Amino acid sequence: MHDTLHMTHLLETPTSQAPPLSSAAWLKWRYGRLQEHINQWLEEALDTAWHPQAEALKSLPELATSLKRLWQASRHATLLGGKRIRPLLSVLVWQALSRHDVETLKGLCLSSEFMHAQSLVFDDLPCMDDDDLRRGKPTTHKAFDEATAVLVGDALASFAFECVVKYSPQNTLADLEALLEVTQRLGSVGSFGGLVNGQYADMWSHESPASLEQLRYIHANKTGALLRYAIVAPAVLAGASSHVQTSLSTWADVIGQLFQATDDVLDVTATSQDLGKTAGKDADQNKLTYISVLGLEGTQAEVHRLHEAGSQALERLRQSGLAVEALAEIQAFILHRGH
């Protein structure tokens, strides 16, 4: 199948009746086909990486059995489920830029999702958040063991770089320059410019007085940095202007904060049945949230401000020639979900 047809196939609007934007089922209804394809990419990448190891270890069957467990744990961590929102957003930005060669995005989609999987494995460890379940299933250190989980996290973070280089276009000097910038951005996200700083700040947030600035810093790094990579990196690969990249970066920052603010509101206004998880858990654990800093009314006002800021960023992108309808729909889904 040609890439252009493939893009059309992935993003074709379903013919079945749409659930409301407030429903958790809406994202799967609208982008279920794309999510399935991303899952297939992830599975194929992991299997392709394992096959040479399996061949090399044929003469060492006991060692092969041990190492196969590491591969199985990596599959468990990556294919546990999830919305695949980061690669999904990469594809939607690509569409907004009027690009159709979706295979070009394969490296980006894989890199953001493998880096995300690594962060979840580490976040769940006993020395971090100490969680036994992830999406209703045993976390990696529970399904296997703690040492295996640490090595899985190490492997997935490095594998993200391998994938972005292996699957991204390298046909021209412009391709190589764009790939170099994307790789640098991924490195920043996975280290001191993103996930690590955000997680560490979150761990020690109780040591200083709670503030909105501190809260924004944590979210902008712990979750927002990888989201920003997923949204801006396609524009880098496409050779988009710095103005477009800046507007996309602003929009990424806004929707990351918007998602967290609406999540905090739902935690105190929705039931456990509606949420699919324990309501009020953040307050019970004395977590730093928008609610704890601003209160419910203040957080709702912040949600409105963030929505307006996101809409303004999208309008700037529209004026730059981007077809932002699908991005605006995602923002509306984040705003209205659970209501």
Instruction: Write down how long the chain is.
Output: 339
List pLDDT tens digits, range 11-36: 888 999 999 998 889 999 999 999 99
231, 90 contact by CB (below 8 A) = yes
What b/e sequence results for 261-298 when a residue is b if at least 16 CB atoms lie within 10 Å of its CB, and e otherwise? bbbbbbbeebeeeebeeebeebeeeeebbbbebbeeee
Closest CA to 232 of 182, 196, 190: 182
260 CB neighbour count, 10 Å cutoff: 22
- pLDDT digits over 213-265, tens only? 999 999 999 999 999 999 999 999 999 999 999 999 999 999 999 999 999 99
Report how far residue 42's alpha carbon sits from residue 115's, in angstroms, rounded to the nearest whole number. 12
Contact call for residues 210 and 288 (beta carbons, < 8 A) = yes
Q: If you ran DSSP here, which 8-state letter would residue 125 be given?
A: S
Helices and strands counted in the chain (H then E): 16, 2
| Residue 260 confidence (pLDDT) | 94
User: How far is residue 104's CA from residue 96's CA, in Å, rounded to a whole number?
Assistant: 15
Across all residues in the chain, what is the average pLDDT?
A: 90
Task: Give the CA angle between residues 205, 210, 215 to the nearest 5°.
Answer: 70
